[in-house]
Amino acid sequence: MEADITSQAVGLASSADFSLINLFIRADIVVKSVIIMLIACSIYSWAVIIEKYRLFKKINQSTEEFEAKFWNSKSAETFYNNLPANVQDPMALIFKDAMQNLLKRRSRTDLNNRMTTMLETGIEKQISKITKGFTFLATVGSTAPFIGLFGTVWGIMNSFQSIAISRNTSLAIVAPGIAEALFATALGLLAAIPAVVAYNKFNNDSIKYSQKLENFSKRFLTII
C-alpha cells in the first residue's frame, strides 16, 4: 500500500503544474480567501496610489498658478471678484471662503481672530480631503504581511496533514502546500511594500502642502 502511495506521489510530482493559477485552484478555501483578500487590497491600493499621484501633481501646479496670480493682482477683493465660480484648487477654495467671511464681517472688531480661525478650519478641511485614503494604505502596509503569513502557516499545516495521512515524506506530498504557503507570503509582501512606500511619500507631500497653505494664510492675514 505504501509503495502505491509513493508511486502516486512521484507521478503527482512529475505532472504537477505550479503556475500561479493552479496554485490558487488547488488551495483550500482558507488560503483562497487569503489570496483573494490580498489581491483585492493590492488592486485598491494601486487605485489610491494612482489617484493621489495625479492629485498632488494637479494641486501643486494649480496652487503655484494661483499664488502667482494672487500676489500679482491689484487687491484681494478684486482678485476674489474675478475668481471663477468652479475653482477646485485647495488654496483657492480657502481664499474664497475667507473672503466671503471677510466681506460679511468687515466691521467686526474681532475680525482678525475670526479670519485666523476661518483659515485654519479651511486648511484642515482641505488637508482632510487630500489625505483621504491614507489610512487604507497604512492599514494594508501594516497588516498585509501578517495576512500572508496566516496563509503561509495554514498551507504548511496542510502539508503536515498530507504527510500524516499518506505516511510519506516525499517532496511530492508537501510541495503543493508549501507552494501555496509561499504564494500567500509573496502576495502579502506584494500588497504591503507599495502601500508603505506610497503612504510615506504622500504623507510627506501632504505635510509640505499643508505648510504651503499655512504660509499663504499667514501672508494673507497681513494684507487684510
- Structure confidence by residue, pLDDT tens digits, 91-135: 999 999 988 888 776 555 677 788 888 899 999 999 999 999 999
| Model pLDDT, residue 65 | 94
| Model pLDDT, residue 214 | 94
- Cβ neighbours of residue 52 under 8 Å, at least 6 residues apart? 133, 198, 202
| Model pLDDT, residue 153 | 87
| Model pLDDT, residue 181 | 76
DSSP 223: T
Percent of residues, the chain, with pLDDT higher than 90:
50
| Mean pLDDT computed over every residue of the chain | 84
Report pTM. Answer: 0.81
| Model pLDDT, residue 3 | 44
| Model pLDDT, residue 109 | 63
Instruction: Please report, as a single letter, which amino acid is at residue 207.
Output: I
| Model pLDDT, residue 168 | 64
Within 10 angstroms of residue 50's Cβ, the number of other Cβ atoms is: 11
**Residues of the chain falling short of pLDDT 50:** 1-15
Buried b / exposed e along 126-156 (16+ C-beta atoms within 10 A): bbeebbebbebbbebbeebbebbebbbebbb
| Model pLDDT, residue 14 | 43
| Model pLDDT, residue 13 | 46
Burial-class residue 68 by CB neighbours within 10 Å (0-12, 13-18, 19+): exposed
| Model pLDDT, residue 182 | 83
| Model pLDDT, residue 213 | 95
